[in-house]
A = this chain, B = another copy of it.
Amino acid sequence: MNTTPFFLDAKPVSYLIGEQALDSSYRLVEKYPRYVLLVDDNTREHCLPVFREHLPELLSADVICIESGEQKKNLDQALFIWNELTRLNVDRDALMVNLGGGVLTDIGGFVAATYKRGIDFANVPTTLLGMVDASIGGKTGIDFGKFKNQVGLFVDPVAVIIDPVFLKTLEEKHWQSGFAEVLKYGLIMDRELWQWLYGKDYHEIDFWDKIIVRAARDKIDIVRHDFEEKGVRKNLNFGHTVGHAFESFFLKNNRPITHGQAIAAGMICEAYISEKLTDLECSHKEEIVEMIDKNFSRLSVTEEDVPMLFDLMRQDKKVREGKLRFSLLKRLGKAVHDKEVGTDVVLESLEFYMHDRSRL
């Protein structure tokens, strides 16, 4: 296939998405006198050579390399990058290019936005999750103790360049993380996308280019309308209130799971809650549970873990005035936000997740 990548000038961000996006991306970033390229130990090995081959104009960029992994999305690494930028005498007019997955673009965006009160940055996501979610929408940040993204800010990159060329080297666990978010777009806003995917094991899928452009455009559409997450953007949190609690729980217990595993589990719980509170049809809930179970194994949690999961949910950034608020499904392809949910129903959903294993 030899297509023209999808281009969108959505000020202040320019998007270039699809095959050969990288090859034609220099025009988006050519105005900068200096470039700093942020990589991690994985992307330095697997993606940096590809990046240099397809975007040779940036060969002279300084390279800063951090450690990879969700557990490394912390203040120490931010400190390391601030120090490196300082050591390299990087000025305010430089561009930082974040080459990596969601952890790297989150931390890179945060550091760029706070270095000398802010330098411009561009995201070049290398994972499926990065391509369809993390690189788009300006959420940056680091984890803090057991709390995800506790420190960070909303700040847009100047460019997001999404080229599926990087998927060739993607590890198994990274496919899963991105796939959970792709399913989520289907559920909350894009029933056609859901129908493309329903019934498939993600290993069988062979049209990723098409999925990436579709899912990335769904995300862009939402964040353009509600950058600051005052309204419709909250729909993206479907699966995430319970999901983030799972993710923090396992991180805290030194058994880290992927973001995708956490969100997949969260979507099962929140589909259950949607049936109870926002009229999601039972058969649709079952379709969701079936599809998730086809692609993700259930997490190992027990009754004893419930109090800590609740405690972690209360720390969620979506909490307002101490009340838990969820984004839930009205039907397949349609979500609603800011639904207050009582702890009893959340508890039931966890019970449902732990015990309804008929399909396993």
Contact = CB atoms under 8 A, between A and B. Distances in A.
A322 interface: yes
A68 to B, nearest CB: 23
Nearest to A318: B92
Contact of A317 (B33, B79, B113, B116): B116
Given A79-B75, A114-B114, A139-B117, A93 B321 contact: yes
Contacts of A345: none
A117 B86 contact: no
Interface stretch (A150-158, A207-215, A237-245): A150-158
Interface string A296-335: 0000000000000000001101011110000000000000
Contacts of A110: 114
Chain A contact surface mostly: mixed
Contacts of A314: 89
Nearest to A79: B75
A118 interface: yes
A144 interface: yes
A231 interface: no
A151 B114 contact: yes
Copies of this chain held together in the complex: 2
Contacts of A89: 314-315, 322
Contacts of A286: none
A175 interface: no
Contacts of A83: 145
Interface of A: 33-34, 75, 79, 82-83, 86, 89, 91-93, 110, 113-118, 139-141, 144-145, 147, 149-154, 314-315, 317, 319-322
A-B pairs, top 8 by smallest CB distance, nearest first, are A116-B317, A117-B152, A114-B151, A33-B321, A117-B153, A114-B153, A93-B320, A91-B319
